[in-house]
């Protein structure tokens, strides 16, 4: 989940990475979403930050967090969590 604030918008710079990985591993195993933290109470702790935050969930539980646009770390985290 790309957690963002309305004033900054979702992080579009990593969309190609997400698409590439999803094409490589298949759409049944991996899902991407965006969430505006200003409108979701459960994501309140991510408000007021000016860096992108990527949340990784498995089985409904938060399993990893990557702060900032670090493409190698995002790719590594995605593949490790799979």
Higher pLDDT, 7 or 54: 54
Q: What is the pLDDT of residues 36-62, one digit of tens each?
A: 888 899 888 888 876 788 899 988 899
Mean pLDDT of 58-80: 90
Gap between the Cα atoms of 61 and 55, Å rounded: 10
pLDDT at 8: 77
Mean pLDDT across 16-29: 81
Q: Does residue 15 contact residue 47 with C-beta atoms inside 8 Å?
A: no
Boundaries of domain holding 19:
2-81
pLDDT of 68 higher than 90: no
Number of domains in the chain: 1
pLDDT of residue 64: 95
Q: Are residues 67 and 52 in contact, defined by beta-carbon separation less than 8 angstroms?
A: yes
| Predicted TM-score of the model (pTM) | 0.74
């Amino acid at each position: 989940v790309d957690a963002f604030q309305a004033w900054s918008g979702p992080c579009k710079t990593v969309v190609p990475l997400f698409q590439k990985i999803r094409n490589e591993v298949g759409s049944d195993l991996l899902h991407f979403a965006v969430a505006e933290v200003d409108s979701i109470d459960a994501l309140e702790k991510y408000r007021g930050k000016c860096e992108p935050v990527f949340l990784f969930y498995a089985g409904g539980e938060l399993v990893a967090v990557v702060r900032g646009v670090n493409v190698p770390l995002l790719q590594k985290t995605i593949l490790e969590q799979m």
